[in-house]
Amino acid sequence: MPPESRTFIEEARRAQIIDCAIEVLATQGYAHATMARIAARARVSAGVISYHFGGKQQLIEAVVEKVAGLATDLMVPRILAQPTATEGLRVYIEGNLEFMRLHREPLLALVEIITHAVSEGGGPGPYAAQAETAITDLMKLLDWGQRTGEFRDFDQRAMAIAIRGAIDAVPARLLAAHPTGDPTGDPTGGPTGGPGFDLDALAREYVTLFTLATTGRNPS
């Protein structure tokens, strides 16, 4: 069913179910995110999901779309607004980590999906392409910096993998630090050094780290 032909109430149900799916995925993990549980959280019968989405696969896809949309909305305009690639990289890193702070649950849900969703055969997961896209997008930013001479001569793909890997490692640490709870509480003992988890401080460290790595110079 194309979006424009959906009624308002239909759209609302879909949104509600997607949000519940995100909640369950983020808090209980992919393995426990069964149709029944998602439906229960939405105070809705299990069949409703099949009714609105056609199947679990399509629900998952809808979640991915929503979360990816959130991320794109946040990031793309910011990066494009920067005058230099160095600034662009800074904003890229900050934006990613800010996204984790603002949209913790959607992000965790997305991570669950990307790492756990499987295709019918034994091949790579259906969302592996997302990761590849993220790499190539980042490579464009790096290429910009190398063409302007801001960045030193490194292998773009290697650097992109490193940067994305460093960023993608954060949610798991986030989850380890706050298995079920709220990350906003008391960040003690440095950026990542206590029960709290200071994403802003982490962002500053990452910016310095990767500015050094890409330019060879400390950020001014």
Partner DNA sequence: TATGAATGAGCATTCATTCAT
Partner DNA sequence: AATGAATGAATGCTCATTCAT
Element (H, E) at 143: helix 128-148
Candidates 206, 189, 187; CA nearest to 197 is 187
User: From the CB of residue 141, how many other CB atoms can be counted at a distance below 10 Å?
Assistant: 20
Q: Are 118 and 125 in contact (CB under 8 A)?
A: yes
* Residue 159 near residue 214, CB atoms below 8 Å: yes
Least distance (Å) from a copy of itself to the CB of residue 194? Answer: 10
CA–CA distance, 93 with 115 (Å, rounded to integer): 21
Q: Which of 44, 101, 205, 219 binds a copy of itself (CB under 8 A)?
A: 205
169 touches, from a copy of itself, DNA, none (C-beta below 5 to 8 Å by class): a copy of itself
Q: Is 117 left (phi over 0), alpha (psi -120 to 50) or beta?
A: beta
Nearer to a copy of itself, 183 or 191 (CB): 191
How far is residue 47's CA from residue 28's CA, in Å, rounded to a whole number?
21
Residue 65 or 132: which CB sits closer to a copy of itself?
132
String of contacts with a copy of itself for each residue 95-134, x by CB under 8 A = --------------------xx-x---xxxx--x--xx--
Kindly tell me which of 9 and 176 has the beta carbon lying closer to DNA. 9
Structure tokens at 151: 């960045």
Nearer Cβ to DNA, position 35 or 177?
Answer: 35
Footprint on this chain of a copy of itself (rule: CB under 8 A): 27-29, 31-32, 115-116, 118, 122-125, 128, 131-132, 135, 154-155, 157-159, 161-170, 172-173, 175-176, 179-180, 190-193, 201-202, 205-206, 208-210, 212-213, 216, 218
